[in-house]
Structure 1
Amino acid sequence: MTQEPGLRERKKSETRSALWHTAVRLFLERGFDNVSVAEIAAGANVSKMTVFNYFPAKEDLILAPMEAHVGEPARVVRDRAVGENVIEALRRHFLTALRERDPVVGLSDDPKILSVHRLILDTPTLRHGAMAMRERNEHLLVAEFERVVGRPGDLACRLAASQILNVRQILVARTTERLAAGATADEVYPVAVAEAEAAFKQLAEGLGDFGMREG
C-alpha cells in the first residue's frame, strides 16, 4: 500500500532534522573538520548514502537552513505591494523577522543556534560557504533592482544592493553579539528594532530616489 504524500514528506522532514541535529552535536563536540559523514550517518542510524541524499556536501549539514533564505531580499522586492518602495519593503520584512525571532536576523537565543553561529565563524570552510551565499544574495538583488529601474548593468543597482546587504549583516552581527554575551531575545528585541529602524531610515535617505522608486 502506497503511503500518503503527507506521511512520506513528514518522514523525510524528520530524517532531515535528525541528521542536522546529529551533525551539529558532533561538530560542536569535536569540531567540523574532525567529524566524518560516516560518523554522522552512524549517529543518526542511517546509511552514508542517506546523508548525501539529503545533504549533497558535508557543509550543507550546517548551511542548509541559510540556503533556504538565499534570494529572499530579491523576492521581497519583487513581491512588494504596488506603491511600496523597495527600502520600505525590505525594512518591513526585516522587522517581521525580528518580531518572529527568526534566526536569519540573529534574534534567537536558542543555545544550539548561537553555537552554530560561532561554529560558522570559527570554521574557514563554513565561513566561506556563508560568504558565497551572501554573494549570491547580492547578485539576485542587483538583478531585481535592475529590473525595477529598467537599466541592466546600472552601477547604482549594484551599489544599492551592496549597501542594503551590508546593513543587514551589521544588524544581524550586533544582535548575535548581544545574545552571545548573555542577553535574552526578549531583552535584545527592542534594541534590535530601534537599530533596524534607524539603519533603514539612513538607507532610504542615502539611496534617495532609487530607494523610493515604486513598482
Structure 2
Amino acid sequence: MAEELSLRERKKRETRERIADVAMGLFMLRGFDRVTVAEVADAAGVSVNTVFNYFRTKEDLFFDRQEAAVESLGRVVAARAPGESAVEAVRRDFEAALDQRDWRYGITGGAPDFFRMVTESPALSTRIREMGALREEYLARVLAEETDAGPDDPTPRLVAAQLVALTRTVSEEFLRRRLAGERVETAVPAARAAAGRAFDLLESGVGDYAVKATSSQP
C-alpha cells in the first residue's frame, strides 16, 4: 500500500511539473496574457479540469513555486545553526544562492525574461507584490516564534521587513544590470558586493537579533 501511494504521489508530482513546464514555455513564447488555460492543457496532453486540480488559478501556473518562494526566508531562519543569528543565516543562504545561481533570490541568467513577462501582465505584477507581502509576513511569524516575542512586540516585523527589503533590493540591482546589457559573469559579482555592504549595515544594527541558543555542555 505504501509503495502504491508513493508511486501515485510521484506520478502526481511529475504531472504537475510537466503542466508547469509546458505552461512556462508557452508564456515565454507568447506572453502570459495571450495564453489560455485550455491551450496549456492541450499542449500538456491533459484536460482543463486536470490543470485546475493542480493549479487553482492561471497565475499559479506561472508562479508554480510560490509556496517555496514565500516560505524560503522563514525556513532559512528556522533552520539556522546554534549560535547563528537570523541575519547571519540569511546572509549565508544568499551567498550560497549566488554561488549556485539558484532561483530563490532571482539572481539567475533567465531573470530578465522572467521580469519582462511579469511587467507585461497586470495580473502577474499584482501577484508578485502579494508574494512579497506574504514572504515578509511569514518571516515575521517565524522570527516571533523563534524569539518568543509577544503579540505587541513589533521587532519581528521590523527585522523581517529589513531582510526582505535587502534581498529584494540586491536582486533588483542584479536585474537592472542585466537589463542594461551586462553579462551574468559581471552582474553576479556586483550583486555579491552590494549584498555584502547591505548585510554589513544590517548586522551592525540587528546582527545580534534571534541568535539561536547553543546546547549546554554537561
TM (normalized to structure 2)?
0.84
Q: Summarize the Cα distance change of 1:99–1:5 in structure 2 as closer, same or farther, 3 Å threshold.
A: farther
Distance 1:68 1:148 in 2: 20
Report the Cα offset of residue 7 of structure 1.
5.7
Q: Which residue of 2 aligns with 1:122?
A: 120
| CA deviation vs aligned residue, 1:133-179 (integer Å, no higher than 9, x gap) | 22222112112222233222311221111111011111111112223
Deviations 1:67-125 (A, max 9, x none): 32221211211111111111111100111111110122222113xx5322221132121
Partner of residue 38, structure 1: 38
Match of 1:151 in 2: 149
- Shift of the 39–3 alpha-carbon distance from structure 1 to 2, 3 Å rule, reads farther
Bigger Cα displacement from structure 2, 183-192 vs 44-53: 183-192
- Letter of the 1:80 partner, please give it: R
The number of residue pairs the alignment matches comes to: 211
| Alignment partners' CA distance in 1, 2:210 and 2:11 | 46
Question: Is residue 55 from structure 1 mapped to residue 55 from structure 2 by the alignment?
Answer: yes
Deviation at 1:66, TM superposition (A): 3.3
Distance 1:73 1:65 in 2: 14
State the Cα deviation string for residues 13-71 of structure 1 (Å, max 9, x = none).
44333322332233334432332211111122211112112212110111112332221
Deviation at 1:185, TM superposition (A): 2.8
Residue in structure 2 matched with residue 131 of structure 1 by the alignment = 129
2-structure distance, mates of 1:6, 1:213: 38
Percent identity, please: 37
Alignment correspondent of 1:197: 196
Cα distance in 2, alignment partners of residues 179 and 114 from structure 1: 7
Quick one: distance in 1 between partners of 2:31 and 2:207? 46
The amino acid that maps onto 1:92 is R
**Is the contact between residue 101 and residue 108 of structure 2 (CA under 8 Å) also seen in structure 1?**
yes
Q: What residue in structure 2 maps to residue 165 of structure 1?
A: 164
Q: 1:190: how far off?
A: 1.8
2:178 — aligned with what? 179
* 1:67–1:178 CA distance, 2 compared to 1 (3 A): farther
Name the SS of the counterpart of 1:69 in structure 2: helix
Distance 1:13 1:184 in 2: 35
Q: TM (normalized to structure 1)?
A: 0.85
- What's the RMSD between the two structures over aligned residues? 2.4
* Unaligned runs of at least 5 residues, structure 1: none
